[in-house]
Structure 1
Amino acid sequence: MTTPDGSPLLRVDGAVQADGRGAGVAAHYGNPMIEQRRLLAGDAIVDLSHHGVLGVSGPDRLSWLNSLSSQELRSLAPGVSTETLLLDPTGRLQFAMSVIDDGVETYLLLEAAELPGLQAWLEKMRFMLRVEITDRTEDYAVIGTMAPEPAALGLEPAAPNGMPLVWRDPWSGVAAGGYQYADAPVHPGATWLWSEVLVPRAALAGLREAAAQGSIAVAGLLAFEALRIAAWRPRAATEVDEKTIPHELDWLRTAVHLNKGCYRGQETVAKVHNLGHPPRRLVLLHLDGSDSVLPVHGDEVWADRRLPGGEPERVPVGQITSSARHYELGPIALAVVKRAIPATSTLFVQSEGISIAAAQEVIVPQSAGSVADIPRLPRLGIRTPHR
């Protein structure tokens, strides 16, 4: 975890500390727009040392994790990256984890605030299996980058068992066993070539020196968030609430294997995907920036409704989950809205007492789900023979 004074990279000139869940690392280093460009080009790193790392060792670790979560993990090869979800019995999302295995230990990367709860739950589920669960946050710090080869930026991944610990986000494509609801001709996630490198925590001081000398460029959380939102990439800390099911965020794309064995919440996953529709859907909003107000997490999204013979009225239809100022797209946000809201509707966001117009870009369409090809049987009844 970060020290009481925060990450050593907060001592780089221009660093401004983030607040909330980002406390302890930099929100930006003086120019978030330039930082976005550098990050997208693969020329910068993001300090994510406030994130948590949980290690699971023992010969039963992969089969055990496979039995509990949404992804197929039994045959996960050393160095191969994936992600998985823990759901409650009704299919609602509880934990989201980035996963990499080095042949000896499996590493689960997640928000630090979620780690104690996940660790406690996993400890209860060990039973007689040969697994050990260890908080590795004090050993390893997470550094994010979009560089194809992190070593080119001077990042030296930890490799305690000979395999470099570099998690490569699968969001750039549809994972094996996954399913994409978004029907965009070109998914913006295709350019989201994100990696998270585990480095020894003691290496943060050296990265600070390299940044101070200009041999490595740094970007803050604001740059990371802007590019993530533009890539439609869900994040548990922002897009997930107590009602979220994976379908609503198009997370079947990379975090759910639809053909694996049983796990908690699988019945809901299969039922909604094959027979139903998710009750809500994720959208990207292009916001009117004329008032210079950027909505925040939890701000309400509204739409106009016209009843037959009546005047139009504005009603709440969802909430903002994430927002950012993008270097090309301007003010943008992710929001979760009711499925019934037409894709053509202009939405409005209430923030700081101001109504901000927002144009939808569909991520999860209204038609998401009901993919099973079930033949329609003729209605049964009394048939009168033809004469």
Structure 2
Amino acid sequence: MHASPFLSLPGAVAVEGIDEGVAGHYGNPIVEQRRLERGEAIVDLSTRGIVAVAGPDRLSWLHSMASQSFAGLRPGDSAEALFLDASGHIEHVVHAVDDGETTWLVCERADAAPLSAFLDRMRFMLRVEVADRGDEFAVIAAMSTAALDAAAPAASPSGVALDWVDPWSERIPGTHRYAADAGHPASEWRAIERIVPRSSLAEAADAVRSGRIGVAGSLALEALRVAAWRPRLATEVDEKSLPHELDWLQSAVDLGKGCYKGQETVAKVLNLGRPPRRLVLLHLDGSDTVLPETGDEVIGEKVRPEPVEGQAPERRVVGRITSSAMHHELGPIALAVVKRAVPGDLPLIVESHETDVAAAQVEIVPADARAAVDVPRLPRLGARP
């Protein structure tokens, strides 16, 4: 793992966990959130993985395997795509930008090697080349292009700037969103991930040191992501995750294309079924200053029709915390994946650090999310009218 020049900036505090290797904050995560949100700061994401796919068959090849359409991807265009297993479970997530000769895929650090190996196995006789380019290139992020321009120019090995613009804030034709449009916070999330030569990280750190641009840690970016209901592979996804459960159909799945692994499940759950689990935002009681950790259990209390005096309500595990953050406006918040049957208005409890933390849920994927197609029930054989 490369040592980041950003860790030498004044006040830098290294983060642990999935983003280890970059600064979690530089002394004041709340102030950093505000600067980042206003487009006045950059974030070091230099530990993210970068996989490059070159060759004349690259777009049609990726199109045949991914949930997203790559067929019409033009130089400079951005896309988000999932690679699913045969049962529709999420295996890989990529942020893709094409430069006319190569498609660049930004992914989680831990997923770079598995993703490269998977793609390499699928090449067969096609004219494509897969390479892990994380040693040569790195990622910085911001909420505005101006902030990135003040730090370092984007890599452009083929003359096209490698800026990935997150599609989460847009309603893309051919996609589906379970969450209601009214009040959806996606419009506040304007993330841009810029691929730069790894040697340019020192230049970007110098821009911060000289005051040309502000800096924010990974904790600030995570807080804004959680508040925007934006899922991430390293946190929200487990071995059972379907795109529907995380409302990921809205940015990473083109429902007009088929013939990719897992497509049957995507269509079946959307058209005929309901997501077996669902993503929620939790507003947490901050009186105990306890911020839950990924994996902490979410508890629901079963309400008895006739309560028995002196008998406590039955507690049941209904989900788990995937991400948590201290937001500069919302206070302590978290994303959690809960069972579909959990009522949307049920107060919840998070068990964390041997403390019960009260939680009020905001539905992202609604508890009553219905099938897109109303299938009439057929009469039983032999039944009489």
The answer to which of 8-17 and 309-318 deviates more is 309-318
Gaps of 5+ in 1: none
Q: Which residue of 170, 177, 181 corresponds with 2:178? A: 181
8 A Cα contact 2:152 2:200, kept in partner: no
- CA RMSD between the two structures: 1.5
What letter corresponds to residue 328 of structure 1 in structure 2? E
Aligned pairs (5 A) from 1:55-204: 55-150=52-147, 152-204=149-201
Question: 2:353 & 2:384 partners in 1: Cα distance?
Answer: 65
Equivalenced residue count is 381
- CA offset digits 1:243-264 (Å, max 9, x no partner): 1000000000000111102100
1:370-381 aligned at under 5 Å gives the runs 370-375=371-376
Distance 1:316 1:383, change over 3 A: closer
How far off is 1:184 after superposition? 4.5
CA distance in 1, matches of 2:241, 2:76: 30
Residue 160 of structure 1 aligns with an amino acid whose one-letter code is: P
Whole-angstrom CA distance in 2 between matches of 1:367 and 1:62:
37
TM-score (norm 2): 0.96
Q: Distance in 2 between matches of 1:317 and 1:376?
A: 30
Query: How much has 1:373 moved relative to structure 2?
Result: 3.7
Q: In 1, distance between residues paired with 2:331 and 2:181? A: 20
User: 1:154 Cα shift?
Assistant: 3.4
Pairing 1:246-261 to 2, within 5 Å after superposition:
246-261=243-258
- 2:268 is aligned with 1:271: yes
Q: CA deviation at 1:153?
A: 2.4
Contact 1:36–1:227 (8 Å) recurs in 2: yes
Paired position in structure 2 for 1:241: 238
The match for 1:207 among 188, 204, 207 is: 204
Instruction: Give the stretch that moved more between structures: 261-270 or 372-381.
Output: 372-381
- Establish whether residue 301 from structure 1 lines up as the match of residue 298 from structure 2: yes
Deviations 1:212-252 (A, max 9, x none): 12112110011000000000000000000011000000000
**1:283 and 2:280 matched:** yes
SS in 2 for 1:261: coil
User: 1:208 Cα deviation (Å)?
Assistant: 1.5
Q: Quick check: 1:148–1:193 contact (8 Å CA) kept in 2?
A: no
Distance apart, 1:206 and its partner CA: 1.2
Identity %: 55
Deviates more, 1:62-71 or 1:366-375: 366-375
Cα distance in 2 between the residues matched to 1:299 and 1:109? 28
Indicate the larger mover: 135-144 or 296-305.
135-144
Amino acid at match of 1:207: A
Cα deviation per residue 1:341-373 (whole Å; 9 max; x = unaligned)? 001100000001000000001100022241114
Match of 1:231 in 2: 228
Q: Structure 1 length normalisation: TM-score?
A: 0.95
Are residues 1:292 and 2:293 paired?
no
Alpha-carbon displacement from aligned partner over 1:174-213 (angstroms, at most 9, x marks no partner): 2232100001413101111110001111011111212112
Q: Report the counterpart of residue 360 of structure 2 in structure 1.
A: 359
Cα deviation per residue 1:72-110 (whole Å; 9 max; x = unaligned)? 111111111110001110111111111110110001100
Residues in 2 aligned to 1:168 and 1:257: alpha-carbon distance in whole angstroms: 17
